[in-house]
A and B are shown apart, each in its own frame.
Chain A
Amino acid sequence: MGPALIVVIVLVVLIILFIIMTYNRLVSLREQVRNSWSQIDVQLKRRHDLIPNLVETVKGYAAHESKTLEAVIAARNAAMGAQSMGDRQQAENMLTGTLRSLFAVAEAYPNLKANENFMMLQEELSGTEGKIAYSRQHYNDVVNVYNAAIKMFPASMIAGSSGFTQEQYFQMEDGERSVPTVSFNG
């Protein structure tokens, strides 16, 4: 065996090792993306689960706000039925909006606001919305790392030939941290 042959063999082995390692790294990153997506999923489902109870409670005090209540239920059902990422984003945003208007309506009912059950539902819902935001932030962080990894050369060659595709970010409005609009007129 000549020295040239040995060099070729060593090079081939090194290249194969590199491919295996890169592939495994990409698999683990993709797994992280899926895993962190399921964290958002848990929180979104939790929010869906809280809504029937909330609607029932509000009904007891503000029955003639049925329009707002129906909007919340419709948005919840739409969110639960949504399949694709884009549809879900849209439906969940819609749900956030209707919930916000429900709590705005509730401001006019002091008895409802003082209701123990309502208060803890409100607390639990805002806690869950917070967790949706936190897990979404983590998901987007992980997607960012993954997307960058499969785009970078030479990993991009391996990613392209073994079916690693860009993952979508999960966008949701969160008005929580935007500057509150305070009105002094009414």
Chain B
Amino acid sequence: MNYSANPERQPVGDVRHIDPQGAYQPPPRPAAPWIFEDQIAANRRGTFLLMFVFTLFLVGIVWAVSHIYDPGSAYLLAGVAAVVAFFLSFFSFYNSDKIVLSMSGAVEATKEDYPFLINTLEGLTLAAGMSNVPKAYIIFDSAPNAFATGRDPEHAAVAVTTGLLEKLNRYQLEGVLAHELSHVADRDILLSTVAAVMVGTIVLLSDWVLRSMWYGGGRRRRSSRDGGGNALLLIIALVAIILAPIIAKLLQLALSRRREYLADAHAIKLTRYPDGLAGALEVIANDTEPLEVANKATAHLYISNPLHEHGGWLNSLFDTHPPILERIARLRRM
């Protein structure tokens, strides 16, 4: 199969023996003058805040739930939860990129199979003055989309779907890659990737607790002889559990919507060609195929909302991305 970015292009074979002088080794590069330092600092602060809130939330849920089942050991269980959440935070800080990539079924792209993708990514990091080329990943899905992940530019990865490579021309693909690279340079990826893992955990956990209460909790509660104090706690627990996914969602939104405009603008600083990214967004907007590997936890990572939940003002309140038409209009004005 041919996953080239241009329908006219033919698949390209092995390029390893082209360079008789040995491996290509670029010297260290100067820092990019256009990266906003305060943006990076804000993202780092946001990540730690998120980890803190996440820990607090997990402890709260465990404490409330254990009060229902076994009030005696509530504090002990909450303590255990605190330790677990703490380690989970650190684990997701260092491994969230791998988790997100494997959740999306992404495989690493090689230069032999995807020379244009790799060359463009290398070129854009030159233009950005970044010292490290992010790893490229491929998602085998015909819906055109892309995301970036990793905790810093040294451990970054950009993933694109095969649909993106098939449906975009080279300038459009360049625009998308530049957009993703801007997320890498501004450290948006750290915050959004950690958020993806934590929101995923919270949603999963509250789902699980809610279900177990539905089937087993009610019966046990009635058999216990506790007074009105516990009924109040039960209500708190229920509210917390129901609110958990909503809070998680709102948290995610705060992170992603404004960043998209910023990354679009930075992308144009790299490519100097607004029509490329604008055209790419048009292709993506007109594509109605849903991305099968995306879910509620990873939706905000993508260049365009992969879930296609459109319509209604309430829905737009919960959008992870600004309306794509508005983004295209802004790009066309540049």
Cα A31 to Cα B12 in complex, Å, equals 38
What's the nearest-Cβ distance from chain B to residue A38, in Å?
Answer: 5
Judge whether B29 is part of the interface by a CB distance below 8 angstroms. yes
Among B98-106, B116-124, B136-144, B308-316, the one that faces the other chain is B116-124
| 8 A Cβ contacts from B26-47 to A | 26-34
When A and B form their complex, what is the total count of cross-chain residue pairs whose Cβ atoms lie within 8 Å? 90
A134 and B124 form a contact (CB under 8 A):
yes
> How many angstroms from the CA of A39 to the CA of B259 in the assembled complex?
30
B14 at interface, CB cutoff 8 A: yes
Task: Give the residue name and chain of the B residue nearest to A54 (CB).
Answer: B18
A53-B28 contact in complex given A124-B115, A142-B33, C-beta closer than 8 Å: no
Report the separation of the CA atoms of residues A119 and B2 in the bound assembly, to the nearest whole angstrom: 14
A42 touches B26 (CB 8 A): yes
Task: Count chain B residues whose beta carbon lies closer than 8 angstroms to a beta carbon of A.
Answer: 34
Within 8 A of B (CB), among A118-168: 119-121, 123-124, 126-128, 130-131, 133-135, 137-138, 141-142, 145
User: Is residue A66 within 8 Å, beta carbon to beta carbon, of the partner chain?
Assistant: no
B129 within 8 A of A: yes
The answer for the CA separation of A134 and B133 in the assembled complex, in Å, is: 14
Report the minimal beta-carbon distance from B151 to chain A, rounded to whole angstroms. 25
Number of A interface residues in the complex (CB < 8 A): 33
Asked if A13 is an interface residue, CB under 8 A from chain B, the answer is: no
> Smallest distance from the beta carbon of B327 to chain A beta carbons, Å?
22
B120's closest neighbor in chain A, by CB? A130
A24 contacts B by Cβ under 8 Å:
no
Instruction: Give every chain B residue within 8 A of A31 (Cβ-Cβ).
Output: 30
User: Shortest CB–CB separation between residue B27 and chain A, in angstroms?
Assistant: 5
Contact B273 A145 (CB under 8 A): no
How long is the Cα–Cα vector from A53 to B19 in the complex, in angstroms? 9
- Residues of A within 8 Å of B286, CB to CB, are none
Residues of A within 8 A of B272 (CB): 137
B21 located at the interface, meaning its Cβ lies under 8 Å from any Cβ of chain A in the complex: yes
| Chain B residues within 8 Å of A43, by CB | 126
Q: Check A130–B119 contact: CB distance below 8 A.
A: yes
A26 to chain B, nearest CB (A): 14
Q: B78 interface residue, CB < 8 Å from A?
A: no
Please name all residues of chain A whose beta carbon is closer than 8 Å to the beta carbon of B34 when the two chains form the complex: 141
| Residues A50 and B18 in contact, CB atoms below 8 Å apart | yes
Interface check B20, CB cutoff 8 A: yes
Whether B127 and A135, one on each chain, are in contact in the complex, defined by CB atoms closer than 8 angstroms, is yes
Most buried by B among A43, A130, A133, A177: A130
Are A131 and B123 closer than 8 Å at their CB atoms? Answer: yes
Q: Is the CB of B33 within 8 A of A145?
A: yes
Instruction: Contact check, B119 vs A127: say whether CB atoms are below 8 A apart.
Output: yes
Known contacts A49-B19, A135-B126, A145-B33; is A123 also within 8 Å of B27 by CB? no
Q: Is there a chain A Cβ closer than 8 Å to B244's Cβ?
A: no
Q: Which residues of A contact B329 (CB under 8 A)?
A: none
* Top 4 A-B pairs, shortest CB-CB distance: A127-B119, A32-B30, A134-B127, A134-B123
